[in-house]
Amino acid sequence: MSSFRIGIDLGTTNSALASVPCASTSGHSEVLAISQPETAHSAISQPSLPSFLYLPPDQSKQWVAGRFARARAAEVPGRVVHSAKSWLVHHAADRRAKFLPLGSSDLSPSDLISPVDALSNLLKTLASAWNEAHPDAPTLGWKMMTQRSKPSQWEIKNPMCWWWMSAEERWI
């Protein structure tokens, strides 16, 4: 199994993922091209993922992340979450409360999501892109993280910007 150090820029507007093989002596990272829907019927791979989520009106109840979600924000803003990371540190917001998209009249209360769940969706999209590109180095640690594992299993170095993890070290 290959082992990597992975850096995630989980941004308010865009997110990205880069990696360096643990065995590398050069320290040069490679930015991952992230596959994401561009339209309802096509996908594209880009070095960044817009930090937007869109809930289609179908019955799947699956949030879609990326470029298509960002494009839908202008047409159906009540079905699109953006700037979720900003709510994590807002003094008056409960980051686990389901209130996003903020002020939406397009969704039922049961369809709203919390800022933590929104960021979890973005991380799952990044993990899926990683797994697709690196089947020999799956994101086992990310699975635990997105399932809200015990805090003692993770060390957050900088919760607002970069998360680092390697398959061998299991730290964030």
Question: In this predicted model, what pLDDT tens digit does every residue of 80-132 receive, in sequence order?
Answer: 999 999 998 899 999 999 999 999 999 999 999 999 999 999 999 999 999 89
Q: What is the mean pLDDT of residues 35-43?
A: 95
- Pick the closest to residue 166 from 19, 65, 48 (CA basis): 19
Helix (H) or strand (E) holding 12: none
Q: Rounding to the nearest 10 degrees, give the CA dihedral for residues 159, 147, 97, 15.
A: 40
Reported pTM: 0.80
- CB atoms closer than 10 angstroms to residue 86: 11
- Say whether pLDDT at 157 is over 80: no
What CA–CA distance (Å, rounded) separates 111 from 89?
23
Compute how many other C-beta atoms are within 10 angstroms of the C-beta atom of residue 117: 18
Rg of the Cα atoms in the chain: 16
The per-residue pLDDT for 32 is 96
* pLDDT above 60 (res 141): no
